[in-house]
Every structure is written in structure tokens, then in C-alpha cells.
Structure 1
Amino acid sequence: MPAKPRILVVEDESGIADTIQYSLATDGFTPVCCATAQQAITEFRREPPALAILDVGLPDLNGFELFKQLHELPGGREVPMLFLTARSDEIDRVVGLELGADDYIAKPFSPRELVARVRVILRRSARQPAAAPSAPAALPVEVDEERRRIRYYGQPLELSRYEYGILRLLAAKPGRVFTRDELLAKVWDDDSDSFDRTVDAHIKTLRAKLKAVRPQLDPIRTLRGTGYALSEDLPAA
């Protein structure tokens, strides 16, 4: 990690932006604040940051749309992003994670917690998860390690990097139960139990994508209080 990682903060409420800027600066980061999506795009083009913090409710463009546009810029797909939202609706959190965001935090929030999450995300991004073996040929889940793509019953899935990591890990050992701590350690490469809910949210969006291919099947089993496993008795492709 650089001595002072550059953090792009896109927030139109000046009081919140000032608080974030102060918290990041005093914790060793270099914050760059923008009040609009267009300013953020211009700043991102000038120099992609180590991480971007995006407010969902911006005056000129929805934060989700800004996320998509930043992803299409040079280097955009390598930059981890975190959403800020004033809404508590689950749908906002799910949409953000489905897009591939690394995390989200709802307003009002603790500046200390925000900085802690930024540090965790940067540590995760700096590490490469250990390669897991490809899924057995008999399974309807085909993992292409080189292209980082997964097919389910022959259908390519549009997965975020963490959804890909979870399904790849589960498919490597069908029937084997992975705890939330294991998924955090192996997929996110961080064992902090503070992010259990992030695992659950990604499992939920992953299930929805699998069900879109085969609505009658529920390939991911939940063992309450334990973790998740890929079903061993899925019908052959």
C-alpha cells in the first residue's frame, strides 16, 4: 500500500465531505473530494485513485450510474469502491453489491468505522486469493480460471469479483460447508468477523443470479449458524 493512498470522495453534502476528508487525512490518506459525478469522472481520468467512496444520491447522476461509468474508464475495474447511502432500504445495498461494489455504509456513520473499512478494502485489494481447483466436470458449474468466468448449466454468469470467488470456492468442494469466517479469509483474504453481513449479502445476490438460470433449483445450501455449501446432487447439465 502506498504511503498515502489517494482516496476519491464523491459527496455533495459539504459537512459530510469535510468530515470524511478530515478523517482520511488524519489517518494517513490523501482524500480528493468532488461534489458532483462529473467532477469525479474528470478527477478519475486524471489519476485513478486507490479507492473511491461514492454517495448514492448525487445532484447530477445516480451513484450507481457513476459506478458503472468509472468502471469503464482506464483502470476503473481495478479500483475498489464503497457506496455511501442515506437510505436504509435493502434494495440499495443489494444493487450496490450486485454491481460489484466492495462494501457500503449507511448514513449516519462513524468516521472511524468508515476509515477502518477503507483500510480493510485496500488490504483485500492488495492481496491475490489463493487459486482454488476448478469444479469437477460432473457439476453443472464450470469454472474458467484463466478468464475468471463461471458457467452454470452452460450459461455464463455476470458475477462481481466476490461472487466469483465465493462460487469458485464452493464449487471446488461440493457438499463441503464453508463458514462465513472461512469465506472472508479465502475470498476477501481478511478474517474480520465485522463483515459477516457482507458475505450474506453476496450469497443472496449470487443465489438470485443462479436462480435466473434454473429457477427450480437452489444450489447453495445454508446451514444456519454455520455457513454455506454447494449442493452435491444438482441435476447433470
Structure 2
Amino acid sequence: MEKEKILIVEDEEDIRELLVYNLKKEGYRVEGVSSGEEALKKIKQSVVDLVVLDLMLPDVDGLEVCKILKNDSHTAHIPVVMLTAKGEESDIVLGLEFGADDYITKPFSPRVLLARIRAVLRRRQKDDQADPSVITVDDLQIHPSRYEVFVKGKPVKLTTTEFGILVCLAKRPGWVFTRYQIIDAVKGEDYIVTDRAVDVQIVSLRKKLGPLGDLIETVRGVGYRFKGRE
């Protein structure tokens, strides 16, 4: 099984390279960036399982990056381990209040940091497994509370309406929903107002789900249903 992807956000090149080297040696997939702005761009572009975040950064500081991540429903679930200089107690408190999962002060032992990262990832994995709202069918995983969908581990970007339709159907596999029931259940920003619009959204949703699009079945003359487990 492929290990988690970790993003290192550290402007000091020596420290960044040391962290990247040690984490790669442990089998993690690792990328390193030198600024908060780069970090936010990377996180928007690809899935990240954990961020190691220095608080003292040249552009957007680490506290602001942490705040942005934790205030966005698409990234709030990503664990953040802060790197701080000694004597920054107020920043540590603020970072934890913003939602950071752990911190470690410089200078630090790579072994200690690795242990902290493992512990944070284990906690997050337990939280995910304990979350009854997560819907998993074959290689499709839906996180309603996080507004996330994954197909074979890769994120799928859906509109508000597409996401609402998918959750509506997947929560009750095997049940047939009429188009009007779907309209009543889904009220996103781009929400649908006609039965024909439901068909258009379903076509788009199936396309985005790729090989798993056929989990959504058409019940001729009635509406749609989500395949139950065989």
C-alpha cells in the first residue's frame, strides 16, 4: 500500500532538504516548498495527507496558511504539524487554536518529528474509520462532512449539485429516486430546477466518476438509483 503524501513548507533549504530526505527514507511521498503561497497552490493542485509547516515564512506566514487551510471545508481535514523556533509560545497557542494538530520546536531531532508525524497520521486514520458518515462502495469513497469524493484514491471535483445528487443516491443504495425527489433533496449554489436538468447533472456526474459512473443506474420511466453492494 502506497504511503501518505507529505508537504514540507520550510524556507530554510538545509532544513527542508533534511526533512524531505528523512521522510522519503521512511517511504512517504514528499514534496518541499519554500513559501506559504507555494504551499497553498500545491494543496489546491493535488492531494496532500499532511503538512509540516514552518511558522516563519517569507510571504504568507505559517499561521495564516494554517488558518486558510482550516477555514476551508476542502482542506480542513489535512493534519498540520507546525515547526516553531523556541520562545514562540504565543504562536504555538494561536496555531493550535487555528486547528494545527501538533507542533515541534527547532532545533529538532528528525526521529522525534517522524514519531510525531506517525502519531498524527494514526489519529487521523482512526478518526476517518470511526466517521459513520463516510460512504465507501468499491473504489468510490464519499466524505459528506468534508465535501470530498475519491475514485481509486484520487480526488474528483464535483459541483455543489453533482455532489448533492451523489450523496442523496449513495446514502440509500438500491432505493429509486424520482427526479422531483432529487430536486427536493439537492439545493446547491447551482441547483437544478427542472427534471431535465437532473438528467444533465447525472450525465456529468457519471463522466466525472469514470469507470464507477455505472454505479448510478437509470430506472426507466421513474428516475435513478445507486447500486447496492452485490
The aligned residue for residue 107 of structure 2 is 108
Write the letter of the residue equivalent to 1:7: I
> Residue in 2 aligned with 1:77?
76
Report matched runs for 1:60-209 at 5 Å: 60-73=59-72, 75-128=74-127
Report deviation, 1:47. 1.3
The equivalent of 1:197 in structure 2 is none
Larger Rg, first or second structure (1 or 2) = 2
* Structure with higher RCO (Cα < 8 A, 6+ apart): 1
Cα deviations by residue, 1:181-213 (Å, 9 ceiling, x for unpaired): xxxxxxxxxxxxxxxxxxxxxxxxxxxxxxxxx
Instruction: Tell me the alpha carbon deviations over residues 24-47 of structure 1, each in whole angstroms, 9 at most, x when there is no partner.
Output: 000111111010111111100011
Which runs of 4 or more aligned residues in structure 1 lie more than 4 Å from their structure 2 counterparts after TM superposition? Answer: none
Give 2:42's aligned residue: 43
Name the % identity.
40
Give how far 1:61 is off: 1.4
* Equivalent position amino acid for 2:34 in 1: A
Deviation per residue, 1:141-191 (Å, 9 max, x gap): xxxxxx9xxxxxxxxxxxxxxxxxxxxxxxxxxxxxxxxxxxxxxxxxxxx
Taking structure 1 as the reference length, the TM-score comes to 0.52
Q: Which residue of 2 aligns with 1:210?
A: none
Q: Counterpart of 1:4?
A: 3
Report deviation, 1:19: 0.5
**Secondary structure at the residue paired with 1:125?**
helix
2: CA distance, partners of 1:99 / 1:82? 12
RMSD: 2.0
Structure 1, unmatched stretches of 5+, are 132-146, 148-237
Change (3 A) 1:41 1:89: closer
- Counterpart CA distance in 2 for 1:89 and 1:20 is 21
Distance 1:46 1:92, change over 3 A: same
In structure 2, relative to structure 1, the CA distance for the partners of 1:5 and 1:59 (3 Å cut) is: same
- Taking the aligned partners of 2:101 and 2:14, their CA distance within structure 1 comes to 24
SS at match of 2:118: helix
Q: Is the 8 A contact 1:52 1:79 kept in 2?
A: yes
- Amino acid of the structure 1 residue aligned with 2:35: T
Unaligned runs of 5+ in 2: 132-144, 146-230
Show the counterpart of 2:31: 32
Indicate conservation of the 8 Å contact 1:13/1:35, yes or no.
yes
TM-score, with structure 2 as normaliser: 0.53
